[in-house]
Structures are given as C-alpha cells and as structure tokens.
Amino acid sequence: MTEYKIALVGFGGVNRGLAQLIAERNAAWQAALGLSLKIVGVTDLFLGSIVDRNGLDAGQLVALPAEKGAFARLPGGTAEAFNETVIKQSGADIVAEATFTNPVDGEPAATFCRWALESGIHVVTTNKGPIALHGSELKALARRNNVAFEYEGAVMSGTPVIRLARQALAGAEIQGFEGILNGTSNYVLTRMKEGLSFDAAVAQAQQLGYAEADPSADVEGYDVRLKVVILANELLNAQLRVSDVACSGISAITAHDIAQASESGHCWKLIGAAQREADGSIRASVEARLLPAAHPLAAINGATNAVSFNTALVGTVTVSGPGAGRIETAFALLSDIIALHTTDRQ
C-alpha cells in the first residue's frame, strides 16, 4: 500500500470534490487500488492556505464555508494564498492543480505546474491552459525530473478520452477525431431544436449553471479550441498552437437554420475536429456542422460530451459521457493518480 501526500492548489468545485472523495473513500481505495491520499497542504486565492505535513482532516476541509480567508479559521491556517510554499514545502508527492483556466497564456497555473515538476513532485491537473499552451515544455520538464504530468480531466472531465485513446486504442492508428467537447453549446443547440431562440437557450443554460455570465468561451468555440489542441497534440502527435485552429461558434445559428436542418433529417452540432491529411499534416477546426441523423454524434443531446476517434484498424470508436461536474472532474484527478501509481518509474 502506498500513501501519497497531496497538495491541492485551488480549492473550488474540483479540488473540494477530490477532498470529499478522500474523506469518503480513502479506506476503500486502500483495499481496491493499493493507495491512499493524505492532504498535506491546500492553497486558494479566495480561501487562503494551510499546511500540515502530518495530514489535514479532509472532511473538515470540505465542511469549510466558501468565505473569503476561511482557512484562517483552522489551526495553522492563513487567509493568504501561499501557493509557492504549499507547492514546494508541504512535503507533497503530488500536486493537484485546479485553479482557473487562463486561455491566453495559461498562467499562473503553468507556473504552479513548473514549480512542482522542477521540485520532483508529480502534477495532476484539470486545467486546459497549461496543457494547451505549454504542454510540450511541461511534459519535457516532467520527463527530466522523472515525475508524472497527467491531465485526463482537462478535455472531457471524468469521461476518460485521453487515456482511452492513448492506451486502449494504441496500435489502432488514430487518423483523426470529431467531438462535441462543450456541454453548454450542445445544451443550447438541443434547446433550440426544441423551439427556443438562441438567446432564450443561453439564458436557460445560465440559469442551470452551465453557462457563465459571459458565455462567449462556450458559444464562440474558444473552450473547444483549447481541447482540440490538447487532443491533436496528444493523439496525432501534432505540434498545434491555439492560433493554428480555425474557430467559429454557434452564435450565428438561427431558429430558422435549426428548423430547416430538422426538416431534412439533420442537426447542427459544434464540432471540434482534427484529421491527419495525406501529406502527414494535421488540419484542425472548431465549427458548427450539419450532421446527418446516422452520424454517431447526432444523438448526443443536452450537456453531454462525446468524441469519435477515426482509426485505421477498428473504424470509428465513439465515447460519450459527462464533460463537467465537480465530482466527475475530481474523479479524473483520481484516475491520473491511479495512472502515476501504476507506472513504473526507475
């Protein structure tokens, strides 16, 4: 049995979800997985930070109210987010990075990952920014320091598309993929098919907590573009930068377009895709596409995500599941930890 000491960077939905899983399931993991997790530090811009090398009470952390500086209420805690101290000096074997996604330069999360990797600490993250914008640098840094850098949750939350493609489809020769990689935009298109206008569907997505007050990252395709870069670089060995991916969203689609598509047995979907061309180059895009009813992604409705891998040996393999959710995404961190636990590292 291996006990990993873990530091949580960012303590919003996802890492609080991981702390909840630790509080509820550590004993079961020992028996089933041969590992357990001990939280030795937490840091968060809003809540502050806390370190205890002997281990913090996960249940107590989860119960902490989401109030500014709340860690100061715990013995040894402070209202300030001492990120560098928690990452480098809490004695952690693993850093779970779950701060906000910066789509412009991936910072400061990329720096948090660098600090950990340079210190010989494994990193698991759900944050698209560091991977889409600094992926090859951070992977090389992890290799040099003989530690893991894992990010299963960054593309489809708890639905394991990266490891499925990398491991279970290894040898099947993935030529490309098409995916519904943003639950909010798919929810909006689904509601429009049921008769709502674009604005009314967005308002409903906001009411349900799917869409931000500013929904542009979801409906203009920017969120999907980061995921396409991650998947293409990971699975097609591309060297894409975000600016290489042509990107348009769904905001120009009207109720009339949707009705016309339905009449001809088609539906509109926001598709993030990448394909290896005959000359070996990779073409990637994010755009609304009109899909025939028989397409494997046509039946994916609501906030669900899905991706179809086009392979040379087994044809099209499609996986669908949740693309968001605090526990679902925390599970992705657990799956990353299981992966690093079961990897031989000399």
**Helices and strands in the chain, H and E counts:** 13, 12
101 binds ligand NAP (CB under 6 A): yes
**Residue 44 contacts residue 81 (beta carbons within 8 Å):** yes
Q: What's the closest the beta carbon of residue 108 comes to ligand NAP, in angstroms?
A: 5
Closer to ligand NAP by CB, 69 or 275: give it.
69
Binding span for ligand NAP by CB under 6 A among 132-140, 165-173, 246-254, 319-327: 319-327
Tell me the window of 22-30, 87-95, 97-105, 163-171 that interacts with ligand NAP (CB under 6 A).
97-105
Q: Which residue is nearest to ligand NAP (CB)?
A: 12
The angle formed by the CA atoms of residues 12, 14 and 17, to the nearest 5 degrees, is 100
Strands ordered across the beta sheet of 149-150: 48-51, 35-44, 2-9, 94-97, 122-125, 149-150
Nearest approach, Cβ of 55 to ligand NAP (angstroms)? 21
Instruction: Say if residues 35 and 341 touch (Cβ distance below 8 Å).
Output: yes
Comparing CB distances to ligand NAP, the nearer of 51 and 267 is 51
88 catalytically annotated: no
Smallest separation (angstroms) from ligand NAP to the CB of 92: 15
Q: Torsion over CA of 322, 43, 1 and 144, rounded to 10 degrees?
A: 90
Which residues share a beta bridge with 42? 8, 50
327 binds ligand NAP (CB under 6 A): no
Residue linked to tokens 């931000």: 212
Q: One of 5, 38, 128, 227 is an active-site residue; which one?
A: 227
Check residue 46 for interaction with ligand NAP (CB under 6 A).
yes
For helices 128-144 and 222-235, the axis angle rounded to 10 degrees is: 30
Which are the catalytic amino acids?
Answer: 227
Give me the residues that bind ligand NAP (CB under 6 A), please. 10-14, 43-46, 81, 83, 98-101, 108, 126-127, 153, 157, 324-326, 329
